[in-house]
Amino acid sequence: MPFQDIVFLTEDASHDAAIKLINEEAFGPGRFVRSSERVREQGPHDRQLSFVASDGGEIIASVRMTPISAGAVDGHLLGPLAVRPSHKNLGIGRELVRIALAAAERNSSSAVLLVGDPPYYAPLGFKPTRPGALSMPGPFDTRRLLAACYGGTDAMALEGEIRHRDRKLKPEM
């Protein structure tokens, strides 16, 4: 789909208020209790790998990438991905994901993980992970934990705790 008036930009601090509004519209207050949000709270997202879509100067969509470790593998957690209601179902969200994945691969990310709907994300290169092999803070549906992998990393081989890369792994007792 041609995005005649849509411009895709790397996120910067001037986009924060618009992104907050877009996420409030898309997810409501329940977004703060999700397992993915628990990981995001552990440290900052990577603005160089996070993107927005603008229509006529108005920010209408956003995707963020948070640096994580999934066990021994360094990667990123994709999300939240959100599009304003006025621009839904035009392919803007999928294009943001494509841009973010290409940026992650260029920046040597071994895997990009997310908790999402397989039918939406599979065409974008996401595959299921092995149910129960990865953990996150709080409950989540392990059938919805997906990974796009690079450099020989295998989604089914990922195992361990998903945590922000800034958070140290707890020592074994």
Beta-carbon count within 10 A of 72 CB: 10
CB 88 within 8 A of CB 133: no
Low-confidence spans in the chain with pLDDT less than 70: 1-3, 29-33, 168-173
Domains in the chain with CATH codes: 6-164 (3.40.630.30)
Please report the pLDDT score of residue 138 as a whole number: 84
Please report the pLDDT score of residue 114 as a whole number: 96
The Cα 101–Cα 124 span in angstroms is 9
Which pTM was predicted? 0.91
pLDDT tens for residues 48-66? 999 999 999 999 999 999 9
